[in-house]
Amino acid sequence: MICRDGCAEPTNSSYSGEAGDQPQRPPKIPRIEEEDQVESMKPPKPGLQRYLVAFEYIGTRFFGSQQQPHQRTAVGVLQDAFEKFVGQPVSISGSSRTLEPHEPSVVRRAVNHFLQREGDIMVIDVRSVPSDFHARYKAQERTYYYRLLSGPESLSTFERDRAWHVLEELNLQAMQEACKVLVGHHDFSSFRAAGCQAKSPVRTLDELHVTESVSVPNFPSVTESKPSDIGAQGVPNNSEKEFNGFCQEFGIRSGHRCLVVKARSHSFLYHQVRLLVGALKCVGTGHLTVADVQRILDAKTVAAACPMAPACGLYLGHVKYDLD
């Protein structure tokens, strides 16, 4: 995951130590989400400062975000860089660190100096926070993005592991209507994966919508796809420049249509976003109707859910904190 959350899921993820996952890899989204399950944090010793750290990384190159024995993880690599900076072990919780006081900008530059050889992880922001601050449980809301690229042609090398490639055309208008069913305060039992340890399946989904964007318009090997080319049914019109899926101009391949799902909430259930996207995709391809989505929601069991979207398209876009 590429992170800053602007990473495709198996290729991206960022704030608060959330990272993307691949099949048979550790889950990207922590299963423990209840505030009373937060690990206890000892107050830092006098003279030490706690920092909130935002970082981005390519998730497919890590075995999850949290530390695991004998595995390369995002937090493990980040901790090594911090220890090289301060010359001694540091305590890590979520995305907060306890160190001797330094200017946050100095911390960011110094840690990135030790991360530059890695090439797939970088600190993008550092803030001084109170001693009782916890990166996960002080978050006010989280915003995820999910990228889908639709079209029959094989995916560009530049887009591999950055989005979900859907061969069928997607009906944007139908997907937008389905979003309206899912927004709000609901029992999302049908949209949480097995193994979720949250005490309650009830969540408030503040925002869920699908928009179309231009995908990689500056890459010379891909033609630019414009939203204005979309027909009345929410699917693109055929381009006059294409012939059997290929552009008539030599060396220029057809671009894919790029749809982005945005989901915003105070907290999410285990794999909730990917299950939501799985349902929206089925609506977009015509395999489900908006009424079917309502039926799945009302069923209150993940057995009624559509296949879950792969990790490769998921990005943690933003985590909101009150840092005033």
Segment 194-208, tens digit of pLDDT: 989 999 999 999 999
Q: Residue 100: pLDDT band by 50, 70, 90 thresholds?
A: low
Percent share of the chain, pLDDT over 90: 46
CATH number of 39-129: 3.30.70.580
Give me the helix-helix angle, 104-115 and 74-86, nearest 10°.
110
| Whole-angstrom distance, CA of residue 182 vs CA of residue 96 | 33
**248-266: per-residue pLDDT in tens?**
677 777 778 999 999 999 9
Domain ranges of the chain: 39-129, 141-320
Q: Smallest Cα–Cα separation from 117: which of 81, 73, 79, 69?
A: 81
**157-196: per-residue pLDDT in tens?**
888 889 999 999 999 999 999 999 999 999 999 999 998 9
> Under a CB-based contact definition with an 8 Å cutoff, are residues 76 and 67 in contact?
yes
Mean pLDDT confidence for 135-158: 92
| Whole-angstrom distance, CA of residue 265 vs CA of residue 220 | 37
DSSP conformation class of 1: -
Strand-strand pairing, 257-265 and 246-247 = unpaired
Q: Strands, E, within 21-89: which ranges?
A: 49-57
> Do the two domains 39-129 and 141-320 of this chain adopt the same fold?
yes
CATH number of 141-320: 3.30.70.660
Cα–Cα distances in angstroms (integers) from residue 254 to residues 165, 171, 229, in the given order: 14, 19, 14
Q: Which residue has the higher pLDDT, 120 or 283?
A: 283
Whether the per-residue pLDDT at 143 is higher than 60: the answer is yes
Mean pLDDT confidence for 23-40: 40
